[in-house]
Amino acid sequence: MVLTDEERKAKARAYASRPENKEKKKQSDSTPEAKAKRLEYGRRPEVKAKKKEYNSTPEAKARVRAYASTPEAKANATKRSTTPEFRAKGRTRHNNKRLKIFQAYSKRLSNSDVACCNCCGIHSHVDFLALDHIFGRVEMDSIPELVAIGYSSKLENNKLKDWIIRNNFPDGFQILCHNCNFAKGYPRNNGKCPHEKQTTLTKT
């Protein structure tokens, strides 16, 4: 009896679903040789392209969402997030994004090749610098050009950084040191750092 493709696939799935066969496959897949083979296969350009194409389909996105909502996936995500390696990678990604943004706006607004404050000009460690919403975080919700590309005052932390990088560092932001950023936000300064006020007075 000749089986159809669907019948062969169904038979293979039934065989693979048996507990003893699952355990055998698990042991086989966990060997160093098997891991190295999968890694090498996954690095092939044609495999990467095919995977990227599949991951962009509605079917693949739906499967990811469905799995992510399961207790098993949530438990695994929580477990991974508590490991030192995961936290270290997260800090590295965060710092790289922040430095990329600081350097881009410092180059554009301050003509500096290194991150610096756009107000006082101090070149400092990135931990002493901050991303400033020039016109105010909430007020920028009313700027059509920013809203058109997805800006929202609800964007914070990594979501805001990802949005800025994805949109090629849009106008409306600058880099300030914490002193200038705090002074700019102080109510009696009316949104201007004292350095800026001093410069204006000197020019007049």
Question: Is pLDDT of 16 > 90?
Answer: no
Backbone angles phi, psi at 177, to 5 degrees: -75, 165
Residue with tokens 């477990």: 79
CA atoms within 13 A on the CB side of 13: 6
**Which residues are 131's β-sheet partners?**
175
Buried b (16+ CB within 10 A) or exposed e, 103-127: bbbbeeebebeebbbbbbeeeeeee
CA atoms within 13 A on the CB side of 18: 8
- What pLDDT digit, counting tens, does each position of 27-76 carry? 888 888 888 888 888 888 998 898 889 888 999 889 888 888 898 888 88
First to last CA, the chain: 97
- What pLDDT digit, counting tens, does each position of 64-122 carry? 888 888 988 888 888 888 888 888 988 899 899 999 999 999 999 888 888 999 998 88
Question: Is pLDDT of 203 > 60?
Answer: no
| 40/43 Cα distance (integer angstroms) | 5
Question: Could you tell me the two tokens for 40?
Answer: 């090498």
Query: With contact defined as beta carbons under 8 Å apart, do 201 and 161 qualify?
Result: no
Q: For residue 4, give the DSSP letter.
A: P
Question: Could you tell me the two tokens for 107?
Answer: 């180059």
Crossing angle of the two packed helices 178-185 and 194-203, in degrees rounded to 10: 80
Statement: the pTM of the whole predicted model exceeds 0.85: no
State which amino acid sits at residue 197: K
